[in-house]
A and B are shown apart, each in its own frame.
Chain A
C-alpha cells in the first residue's frame, strides 16, 4: 500500500488532534436521551418552589406560612427562621461576601428568595406558594451605582454595619465594596500630562444575562441511613460546589457526591451556588426525601447571576501619529445587593487588566470600585474569562475614539500600535505576560477578504448623499483575550488553586477511560479530549470513553468557564496521555528487547529506529501492561495529571462587521461579519467553527438587544424571553469564519481555547460599526444595546430622522 494512503487511513482511524471528528455526545442528544437535571426522577421525589419578593428593598414584617403548610400535598415551607438553627440562612459567596439564602428580615432586590415551598409535585408547590403571606414594609431602593454612593443613600447591607474592611480591602462608604487598582499611577499620569493628544470616553456595558436555554436547577437526595448527600446540579464547577456544600453543611466531602449531568448551556450562568440549590439540599436533609428545584425562565433572568453592569471611563494619551503612550481606566462596577462575582480571589475585577489589548502601551493604570445596589447579585463571566469582555470592549472602543480624534483610519491606527510578533512573550504594563501573537497579518488578511478599501469608498459615497435612506457602518476589532485561569500563584477560588486534572486508565484490550475535573455544557469535551489522548497516546479516539461531572469518579478540577477547559484540563489530558505513552514505551522496549530510546513513536505504535518492521502497537502494549511488564514496574497502564498552568493563554482575532442602518426607523442589518480567530493549535476544526458561530451569535445578541434595565423603584424590566433578546434563526446573521494558527508556547499542545473569543471580540466590533455609521457626524460612542429604538434616538439627536 502507498504509505501516504496508509498513513491517511491510520490518521482517520486515530481521529487525533486536527480532525473534524463527529461528536460523541450527539447520539444521545439527537435521540432525546440526554440526561439533564430536570430529567432526573427519583422515587419519592418532591418538588420545591421559591416564594420571592415583589419589592426591591423592604423590611419583612412577618411571614405567615400556616395556610401554605395546611395545603394538601405540602411537606415543608422553609424560611430564614428554619435555616437559622442550621446556620444556613446565609452563605458565603465566591467573592468573599455573604448572601442571604432566604431573606433574613429584609429583602434587598426584587425577586429575592423569601421562602421555599416543598410539595408532592410542581403543581401543588405552585398553589401553595401563592398561600405564603408575607408582609413587607417598603424601603427606598437604589439601582444606580453612582446614587448608591451618595452620602445619604439608603443602606443596602445593614448586616455589614461597621465593617470598614471587606474581602478586598477598605470600604469607603456603606454601599462601597472595594477599590482595586493596578498599574503605575504616577507614570501614567505623567504620560497624560505630557501627551500631544488625549481622549476620554464614558461608556456603559449594560447588565445582561447569559441565559442558557436550560435554566438552573438541582435534585438533592440525602440518604439519612448512610449519611450520604447526592446532588444533581446544573453546575459548571461540580467540585467547587462539593467544597462549598461541605463548608456549609459540615458533611465531609467524602460523603457528598455532586453530579453535573448533561448541561443545557452555561455561559457563566452556572458557576455559582444559588439559594435554590441550598434550599433543596436542606429540604432533602430535613424531609429525608429527594427534592427537586428547577427555576423558571424569569427567575433565571432576574435572580441567578447577571453579567457586566460596568460603568467605564477610558482615557488614552497618544502622540499625533496615533501611537498610544498611556491608558487610564476608571470603573464603577455595579455588583447588586450581594457581592457574588465569580472572580479569582485576588482579583475582584477578574482579568480586567488585559485591557491594554493587542497594543504596545507603555503606561497604564486601572481603578475599579465595586458598589452595592438593590439589584440581583452576580457579575459572572458571560461567555468570557472574568471581566475580559468588559476590558476588550474598553480598549477597542478607545482606540476607535482616538482614531476619530486624529482622523486616522481605524485599521491604520491599529497597525501603528500592535505588539509586534517578535515582542512575545510580551510583558504588559499591567503585569500580564502575553504568551504569543501575530496580530498584523491577521488584520491584513481580514481587510483583504472583505475588500476594506472598497467598503470605505462605498461608505464615502453614501455619506455624500444627504438623501440616502441608510447609513453604513464598518467596524473593526483586533482583540486579545486572556483565558485558561489560571496559574495558582495568581488564581484561586475559595483558596483552591485553579489547576485542572485528568486521569486516564488504559484497559487490557487497549481501550481507555479518561476522567477530567472540567464539565462540558455543549463544548464537546467527550469528543475533543479523546482526540488529544489519541494523538498523544496513540489510542483511537473511538476507543476512549471520556467522563466528567461526577465528583465521585472524576479527579478534582475547577470546572469549565473562562475557556479554561482546553488550556488547563486539556493540558492535563495531554500530559497524562504522555505519561501513558512513556510507560508504554518502556513496556514496548521490554517486549522488543531494545532500549526505550531505540524506539520511536509512530501514531499508534512504537517502532524500532532503523528497523520499522519491528514494533508494538498500543493495543499490544496495553495487553502486556497487565501481564508482562519490565521488572520493577507496576502493572497496569494508568496516569493522572494535575496541571497548574505556568501562565494564561492569549487567543486573539481580527473581525470586520458591516452594518446598514435605516435612518428613519433605526432598523439595523448586519450585511457582513467576517471573523478570523487564532486559538493556537486547533483540536477539532468543526467544533471550533461551531463555537465561533455560537459566540458570534451571543455577541450579536448582547450588542443589538440584550439588557436588564430597572425602573426607579427597583423593578427589573425585561425578565422574560418576550423582551430579553435571544435572536432566532431569522434575526441571526450569516457568519464568515477564518483562522490563523499561532500556538501557545507554554501549553503542552499549543492550544489556547476558543469558545469565548467570538463573544468578546464581536461585541466591540458591532459597537465599532454602529458608531462608525455616525462617525462623520461627530459621534464617538453611544451605549449598547443597539435596538432600533436606541439607534433611532441617536439618529434623531443628529437630525437624521426628519
Chain B
C-alpha cells in the first residue's frame, strides 16, 4: 500500500511521518518518533498502557490509525515535565507511591491529566470510575487514587504533602 505523510503536533512540536494506512499510532510513536513512554500491554484495547491525549481526548494509541491523526494535537508522557519541572501528576505519583514497575505509569498519568482537566476535584469514586480504562498489575490502585488526589489538590493551588513521611516509624 502506498505510504502517506501524516503531520501532527507532538508535545508542542510539529512532526511529519511517513506511514502505511494500517500503521497503528502506538507503533508510529514508539518506533518512528522515539516516544517510548506509551507502552503496549495487550492486543484487545483493554489495558490503557498506550494512552495518549489526542485533541483533548484520552485515547488508546493501539486502537487509532496514525493516518487518523493528521492535523492533531498530541500529548504523551514525554510532554509533561516543563523545563525540568515535574507536572503535579508526576510529583503526585512519586510522592504517593502510585507506581511500582512503571509500565502502566505513562498511560495512567496521561489519562489522569485529561480527567483533571474535565473534573478538577474528583472524589475517590470519580477517580476509580474514570481511571478504569488503565490496568495496573502492581499497585492495586489505592495509591494511584491518592496520587491523583495529590495532583488535583496541587493544581487547585492547595498545599499538599505526601501521606508517607520519611521518618514515620
Contact = CB atoms under 8 A, between A and B. Distances in A.
Interface of A: 8, 11-12, 15, 18-23, 25-34, 36, 38-39, 41, 121-123, 211-215, 262-265, 267, 294, 296-298, 521-524, 682, 685-687, 689-691, 693-694, 696-698, 720-722, 726, 728-730, 732, 734-735
30 contacts: A18-B167, A20-B166, A22-B97, A23-B97, A26-B99, A26-B102, A29-B99, A31-B86, A34-B102, A36-B39, A38-B36, A38-B40, A39-B30, A41-B31, A123-B22, A212-B137, A213-B41, A213-B135, A215-B41, A264-B102, A297-B44, A524-B100, A686-B97, A687-B97, A693-B142, A728-B131, A729-B141, A729-B144, A729-B145, A735-B140
B100 to A, nearest CB: 4
A27 B94 contact: yes
Nearest to A17: B169
B contacts with A: majority SS: loop
A754 to B, nearest CB: 13
Contacts of B134: 728-729
Interface of B: 20, 22-23, 27, 30-31, 35-44, 46-47, 49, 76-78, 80-81, 86, 90, 93-95, 97, 99-106, 109, 127-129, 131-145, 162, 164-169
Interface of A is mostly: loop
A34 B103 contact: yes
Contact of A18 (B36, B77, B94, B169): B169
Q: Among B30, B46, B100, which residue has the most Cβ atoms of chain A within 10 A?
A: B100
Contacts of B44: 297, 720-722
Contacts of B103: 34, 36, 212-214, 264-265
Contacts of B141: 693, 697, 728-729, 732
B168 A522 contact: no
Contacts of B90: 30-31
Given A21-B166, A23-B94, A32-B106, A730 B135 contact: no
Contact of A523 (B81, B100, B127): B100
Most buried by A among B44, B137, B166: B137
Nearest to B131: A729
Given A213-B41, A213-B104, 16 more contacts: A20-B167, A22-B166, A29-B102, A31-B86, A32-B106, A34-B37, A212-B137, A264-B102, A297-B44, A522-B101, A523-B100, A689-B143, A689-B164, A691-B100, A721-B47, A728-B135
Contacts of A27: 94
Contacts of B23: 123
A301 to B, nearest CB: 10
Contact of B37 (A8, A33, A38, A721): A33
Contacts of B165: 20
B138 A522 contact: yes
> By CB atoms of chain B within 10 A, which of A32, A36, A263, A696 has the most?
A32
B135 A690 contact: no
A209 to B, nearest CB: 11
Contact of B100 (A31, A522, A722, A728): A522
A689 B164 CA distance: 10
Contacts of A26: 93-94, 99, 102
Contacts of A521: 101
A471 to B, nearest CB: 25
A214 B169 contact: no
Given A213-B103, A698-B137, A685 B164 contact: yes
A213 B167 CA distance: 32
B166 A12 contact: yes
A214 B132 contact: no
B137 A726 contact: yes
A730 B129 contact: yes
Contacts of B109: 30
A102 B7 CA distance: 42
Contacts of B169: 18, 20, 682, 685
A264 B139 contact: no
A394 B34 CA distance: 49
Contacts of B37: 31-34
B49 to A, nearest CB: 6
A15 B165 CA distance: 11
Contacts of B143: 689-690, 693
Given A297-B41, A693-B143, A735-B142, A213 B166 contact: no
A694 B100 contact: yes
A447 B47 CA distance: 37
Given A689-B97, A728-B132, A694 B140 contact: yes
B168 A20 contact: yes
B69 to A, nearest CB: 18
B95 A213 contact: no
Contacts of A36: 36, 39, 103
Given A39-B36, A264-B103, A213 B132 contact: no
A29 B98 CA distance: 11
A22 B167 CA distance: 11
Contacts of A18: 167, 169
A213 B43 CA distance: 12
B47 to A, nearest CB: 6
B167 A12 contact: yes
Contacts of B94: 22-23, 26-27, 30
Contacts of A215: 41
Contact of B139 (A11, A28, A294, A693): A693
B20 A123 contact: yes
B135 A721 contact: yes
Interface centre among A8, A33, A34, A294 (most CB of B within 10 A): A34
Contacts of A732: 128, 140-142
Contacts of B131: 728-729
B140 A697 contact: yes
Contacts of A264: 39, 41, 101-103
Question: Which of A215, A296, A728 has the largest number of chain B CB atoms within 10 A?
Answer: A728
A31 B80 contact: yes
- In the A-B complex, the 9 residue pairs with the smallest Cβ-Cβ separation, listed nearest first, are A32-B37, A29-B102, A264-B103, A522-B101, A693-B140, A522-B100, A697-B140, A32-B77, A721-B46
User: By CB atoms of chain B within 10 A, which of A22, A31, A682, A687 has the most?
Assistant: A31
A8 B165 CA distance: 13
A753 to B, nearest CB: 16
A267 B100 CA distance: 12
A34 B143 CA distance: 20
Contacts of A294: 40
A708 to B, nearest CB: 16
Nearest to B105: A29
A215 B167 CA distance: 37
A696 B100 CA distance: 15
Pick from B95, B127, B128, B162 the residue with the most CB of A within 10 Å: B128
Given A214-B39, A267-B137, A690 B132 contact: no
Contact of A22 (B95, B104, B139, B168): B95
Contacts of B47: 213, 297, 721, 726
Contacts of A297: 41-44, 47
A11 B38 contact: no
A18 B165 CA distance: 11
B81 A31 contact: yes
B101 A265 contact: yes
Contacts of A33: 37
Contacts of A693: 139-143
B93 A721 contact: no
Contact of A32 (B36, B127, B166, B167): B36
Nearest to A22: B94
Nearest to A698: B137
A459 to B, nearest CB: 27
Nearest to A728: B132
Contact of B99 (A8, A30, A689, A721): A30
Contacts of A20: 162, 164-169
Contacts of A214: 39, 41, 101, 103
A262 B135 CA distance: 18
